């Protein structure tokens, strides 16, 4: 574990050093390029902020209305059978529908349970191993004019479910 920790602590400084060295070799103004990129990054943050606030409010309203809790209670026997934590279910339900919404739910989960908790690790792993299925199918199939998406949807949602179940299993093993 110490080697992995050492390598992960070293990764970012090495990437920054490599970028700076490449810029110097190519005779670019590295610091000026960095400042320009930071300005663009802040502009993006400020443009996204109202959307994120709106999503946090909408997801909070959905969760506090009791609709998600009612749905989770209905499938609780199955969740217990496969040892799937019910705390993750709001993320599991929203992830295939909305990327931004699932980010809001994942942040909420991490605020409530902590990023280093098993629940926080499961949420992070699910975010990395699943896709916003409905959005992706809509975009890609409309680009190539595919209208019959029943089997695509079935395969993609199956992959999402497998990704979520494997995420839970691996995070429980690693904890």
pLDDT of 132: 83
pLDDT of 168: 93
pLDDT of 125: 95
pLDDT of 44: 78
pLDDT of 3: 85
Structure tokens belonging to residue 131: 């896709």
CB atoms within 10 A of CB 103: 18
pLDDT of 26: 87
pLDDT of 39: 93
pLDDT of 81: 86
The rounded distance, in Å, linking the Cα atoms of 174 and 43 is 38
In what helix (H) or strand (E) does residue 97 lie, and over which residues does it extend?
Answer: none
The rounded distance, in Å, linking the Cα atoms of 79 and 168 is 11
Closest CA to 132 of 163, 102, 106, 90: 102
- Would you list the domain boundaries of the chain? 1-51, 66-174
pLDDT of 119: 95
Burial class (CB in 10 A: 0-12, 13-18, 19+), 25: exposed
pLDDT of 7: 85
Q: Can you list the residues of the chain whose pLDDT is less than 50?
A: none
pLDDT of 59: 66
């Amino acid at each position: 574990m110490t080697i992995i920790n050492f390598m992960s602590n070293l990764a970012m400084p090495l990437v920054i050093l490599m970028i700076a060295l490449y810029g110097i070799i190519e005779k670019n103004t590295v610091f000026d390029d960095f400042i320009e990129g930071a300005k663009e990054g802040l502009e993006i943050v400020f443009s996204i902020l109202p959307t994120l606030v709106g999503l946090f409010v909408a997801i909070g309203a959905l969760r506090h209305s009791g609709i998600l809790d009612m749905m989770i209670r209905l499938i609780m026997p199955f969740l217990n059978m496969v040892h799937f934590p019910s705390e993750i279910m709001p993320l599991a339900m929203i992830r295939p529908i909305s990327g931004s919404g699932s980010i809001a739910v994942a942040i909420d989960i991490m605020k409530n349970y902590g990023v280093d908790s098993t629940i926080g690790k499961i949420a992070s792993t699910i975010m990395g191993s699943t896709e916003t299925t409905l959005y992706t199918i809509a975009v890609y199939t409309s680009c190539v004019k595919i209208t019959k998406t029943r089997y695509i949807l079935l395969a993609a949602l199956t992959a999402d479910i497998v990704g979520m179940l494997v995420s839970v299993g691996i995070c429980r093993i690693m904890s």
